[in-house]
Amino acid sequence: MRLVIALSVAGVLAVFLLYVSIAGGRTPQLKPSHGSVPDLFKVGRHIVVDGRYRNGVFVAKRDTLVTKCPSKYTPKRT
């Protein structure tokens, strides 16, 4: 009886780990679909923004948008 319980728990853990490794570690990627795009974000330039999905809609965190070379777009130290 203990063997059956131990194997059941191990099976559930294995399924959970498989799910987390496949679906949980993925980074969602979205592409804008309309409007004009500033030169800083022209085609081929990579950007990153942090946020979360809320009720099926991506909501970005304020001040987290970063382009490929973030040091180029930060204010110079005086």
* pLDDT tens digit sequence for 8-38: 999 999 998 888 777 766 666 666 667 776 7
pLDDT at 34: 73
51-54 vs 57-60, strand pairing mode? antiparallel
Average pLDDT in the chain = 79
Mean pLDDT confidence for 47-68: 84
Mean pLDDT confidence for 51-60: 86
CA distance 64 to 54: 17
Mean pLDDT confidence for 53-75: 77
CA distance 63 to 27: 19
Q: Which of 37, 56, 57 is nearest to 47 (CA)?
A: 37
Q: Are 63 and 50 in contact (CB under 8 A)?
A: no
User: Sign of the CA dihedral 59, 63, 69, 73?
Assistant: positive
pLDDT at 11: 94
Q: Is the pLDDT reported for residue 7 higher than 70? A: yes
